[in-house]
Amino acid sequence: MTEAAAKTRRQKVEQKERAILTATRAVFREKGAEEAKISAIAQAAGLAEGTVYLYFKNKQALLMAAVSDFYAELTRDAESAVAQSPDTGSQVLSLARLHFGRVFDEWPLIAEAMGPYLPSPEYRETEAFALNRRYVGVFDGIMRSGVARGDIRADLSIPAMRDAFYGGLEHCARSARLRTTTPDIDAEVRQFLTIFMAGVMGRPSHGEIDGARVVRRLQSVIVDIEEQMRSADTDREQT
């Protein structure tokens, strides 16, 4: 086989793999985990079902590859968004908005693929884990720069802030998926950041922070989320 023919063959293989991964993410977004069968993914990719198995030995391998693709894309977009933001506050806002929106859109895929792996030490050996570490490193970089500028408290550990940031946003995104209405992403993110930034800021950026007011706001948000989840449960029982 000539070098040109080999290159063409590799390109065709890469194109089919890309089509399968794109179709997988699209089917999960549109149909949810229960309806995201290999047959549906193959149809969306314009391929025979057997062709999918030539590229991925089983559905779990396909899902992990799709999650890796998700994190690679998310990291590129996060790095770009942060690079265009001039200060700590706008960087955190850009990253939070991006993370909330993507998790909201692709939670069925993330939950289905990562569920069996997260409790297992084997997950640390996967490509998805390595890509996830690179992605959350974007947040770590913002915090380190913020500490150096005096914007972020130096007495808090970055891993603790990272867990609160991503864990809180993902909980909010999952709760939003339970509602029957499309969420206002900007409003959701700003509510969350009102609470998060009050805890990590090294100095107030918009006037002094009233601690009691922040606590009342947090209590209000929790009550709101609980009411929405109860309403969603009632809706499901009635359908």
204-230 pLDDT, tens digit per residue, is: 444 444 445 545 555 565 556 556 555
The pLDDT tens digits of the residues spanning 167-185 come to: 999 999 999 988 878 889 9
Q: Give the chain's largest Cα–Cα span.
A: 73
SS3 per-residue string spanning 42-85: HHHHCCCHHHHHHHCCCHHHHHHHHHHHHHHHHHHHHHHHHHCC
Higher pLDDT, 154 or 125: 154
Residue-level pLDDT at 7? 56
Higher pLDDT, 156 or 115: 156
Geometric angle at alpha carbon 45, from 42 and 50, rounded to 5°: 35
Higher pLDDT, 201 or 233: 201
Is the pLDDT at 85 greater than 60? The verdict is: yes
* Cα atoms in the Cβ-side hemisphere of radius 13 Å centred on 209: 17
Q: Which domains does the chain possess?
A: 9-56 (1.10.10.60), 58-238 (1.10.357.10)
* Cα atoms in the Cβ-side hemisphere of radius 13 Å centred on 226: 6
Is the pTM of the predicted complex or chain greater than 0.75? Answer: yes
CA distance 149 to 163: 22
* Portion of the chain with pLDDT greater than 90, in percent: 64
Residue-level pLDDT at 209? 42
